[in-house]
Each structure stands twice: as structure tokens, then as C-alpha cells.
Amino acid sequence: MRERNISCGPGAVRPLQEHFMDRQRKLMDCILPHLEHGTPFQDFINEGSCNFYGAPVAIIVTIDQAFSKSRLVDVGIAVGYMVLAAHNMGLGTCPIGLISAFDEEIREMLNISQEKDVVMGVAVGYPDPDSPINLASSDRAPLQEVVRFY
Ligand SMILES: Cc1cc2nc3c(=O)[nH]c(=O)nc-3n(C[C@H](O)[C@H](O)[C@H](O)COP(=O)(O)O)c2cc1C
């Protein structure tokens, strides 16, 4: 289960469609040249995600099981604003969905109630301008690729 979560992305229930895979490949292409020689991309993501890329602060986002799954939208909105607010303060962030595959371990380590689900984490810290990986920058998909106008 964990392996599936890690290789398909947390929560993916079937292989992703080609346009999602294409986006993933483009992200890989922009990161790979900045990785230490020979580091496999997937190892970088998996290991980096599990140690919050060495960030000094890791936020664990949970939701009480009393809420319906549709309330995860609210969690996403809250995390989105949190990330923007952090950015405004000069901080860098990386949302980490992958850690939801390790919810039991996290719950035990942090003594989180069984009534809460671990949704995701967010790594927070000041970006290191001297780190080669921070030279990697993804492009933006054109609007017409991701929005359908009626
Ligand atoms: C919901 C969500 C979950 C994410 N989970 C992970 C993760 O587990 N590991 C990781 O390295 N990055 C994760 N990311 C970060 C993305 O890989 C990416 O770095 C970030 O969204 C910025 O990418 P962009 O500048 O190409 O848009 C996640 C992002 C989002 C929005």
C-alpha cells in the first residue's frame, strides 16, 4: 500500500492520465539537472519528502474525522493561504502529501488523536540561495491548457 501511495502519489487510485504524467515529467526534467550526479529523481522526492527537505519546521495538517471528506477542500484552501502568508514573510514552503502514507507512525510519534486524519505536511524554512536545487524552477502551464471557457 505504501509503495503504491508513493509511486502514484498519495491517494491516487489508478494510474494518472497522460497529461498529468507529462506535467510530472516536465517537473522532473527541470529538477534533474540540479540534483547531485546520479541521484534518482524518485529517491530525491521520496527521501526529501520524508525528511521535509531538511526544513527546520514541519507542519502536520490534520482533519477531525467528524467532518465529511468534502471538507478537505477547506483544508486545501487553508494550506494555500498559509503557504502564501509564509512566502510573504520571506519563507519557503513545500507541501508534502506523501507523508499521509505514514499516518499511523506520525500519529503515534506526535500523540495525535485517533479521531483525526493526517492530511498532509508542509515544510517551512528560509530558502538556501546557495543550494543548487533551488535553481530549479518550473514553468507555468498556459491558461488555456488548464481552464475550459464556456
Ligand atoms: C497537495 C500537494 C501535495 C504535495 N506533496 C508533495 C510531496 O509529497 N512531496 C514533494 O516533494 N512535493 C510535494 N508537493 C509540492 C509539489 O511537488 C511542488 O513542488 C509544488 O506544488 C510547487 O510546484 P510548482 O512550482 O511546479 O507549481 C505537493 C504539492 C501540493 C499542492
Question: Is 48 within the bounds of a domain?
Answer: yes
Name the nearest CA neighbour of 21 among 5, 8, 39, 6: 8
Give me the residues of the chain with pLDDT under 70, please.
1-11
Q: What is the pLDDT of residue 145?
A: 86
Structural domain tally of the chain? 1
Residue 19 domain boundaries: 2-129
Q: What is the pLDDT of residue 114?
A: 96
Atom of ligand 1 nearest to the CA of 53: 11
Question: Is 44 within the bounds of a domain?
Answer: yes
Q: What is the pLDDT of residue 1?
A: 43
* DSSP 8-state class, residue 20: H
Q: What is the pLDDT of residue 5?
A: 47
Q: What is the pLDDT of residue 37?
A: 87
Indicate which residue's Cα is closest to atom 22 of ligand 1.
94
127 Cβ below 6 A of ligand 1: no
Q: What is the pLDDT of residue 10?
A: 52
* Three-state DSSP class for residue 124: strand
Q: What is the pLDDT of residue 23?
A: 86
Q: What is the pLDDT of residue 6?
A: 46
Question: Is 30 within the bounds of a domain?
Answer: yes
C-alpha 97 to ligand 1 mean position (Å): 8
Q: What is the pLDDT of residue 27?
A: 87
92 Cβ below 6 A of ligand 1: no
Indicate which residue's Cα is closest to atom 30 of ligand 1.
95
Start-to-end CA span in the chain (Å): 40
C-alpha 110 to ligand 1 mean position (Å): 23
Indicate which residue's Cα is closest to atom 29 of ligand 1.
95
Question: Is 148 within the bounds of a domain?
Answer: no
Question: Is 138 within the bounds of a domain?
Answer: no
CATH no. for residue 29? 3.40.109.10
Question: Is 139 within the bounds of a domain?
Answer: no
Q: What is the pLDDT of residue 2?
A: 52
125 Cβ below 6 A of ligand 1: no
Question: Is 144 within the bounds of a domain?
Answer: no
Indicate which residue's Cα is closest to atom 26 of ligand 1.
138
Please name the residues in contact with 150: beta carbons below 8 A apart, sequence gap of 6 or more: none
Summarised one tens digit per residue, pLDDT across range 47-65 is 999 999 999 999 999 999 9
Question: Is 12 within the bounds of a domain?
Answer: yes
